[in-house]
Amino acid sequence: MRRYCSCGEGCVFYEGVRIVNTRGICSDIKIGNCSLINGELLNFGHGGRISIGNYCYIGEGSRVWAAKEVCIGDRVLISHNVNIFDNLTHPMNAARRHQQFKEIITSGQPRDIDLGEKLINIHDDVLIGCMSVVLRGVTIGRGAIIGAGSVVTKNVPAWTVVAGNPAVKIREIPENER
């Protein structure tokens, strides 16, 4: 796994981890010190960078897919079966979608495609509950908690609990719980 990414000291890859670095540039997928990876990290053929901070956990069955950039801060816990996509993954136009599919099965990820990419920024100390989805263009503030099964379509302020589909604010986290 280490040959497909740049990783710090104490980084651990569990059995079954997938690192799909389509462009083959190790610096496109960076993992910090003492982070545990138990899911899939993938960048697309036309670009995409993933940076994961120190002391993070990417849970089993979770996917982080980048066509632009996904930035994950320090001490972030991403539970199992979470999907984080900074793009649409497929064109909305049916003909272009079919063309993308044909290119993937014949020659690999397209090098020239528009998937509506938008940066995802997940700040330090965030917890993302199992089976949640974080969609393109979202910023999740420091210390925020995303409830299990949530679909995050909008920015989440720091020290806030959100849940649901779409995710809505449940409460703020008081100073004594931070």
Evaluate whether 162 touches 146 at the Cβ level (below 8 Å): yes
- Note the pLDDT tens digit of each residue in 34-93: 999 999 999 998 889 999 999 999 999 999 999 999 999 999 999 999 999 999 999 999
- Is residue 164 pLDDT above 80, yes or no? yes
Residues 6+ away with beta carbon under 8 Å from 40: 17, 18, 19, 20, 62, 63, 64, 65
Domain regions of the chain by residue span:
2-177
Which pTM does this prediction carry? Answer: 0.94
pLDDT of residue 97 exceeding 90: yes
- List residues with catalytic annotation: 90
Query: How high does pLDDT run on average in the chain?
Result: 95
Q: Domain 2-177 has what CATH class? A: mainly beta
Token digits for 157?
A: 């302020």
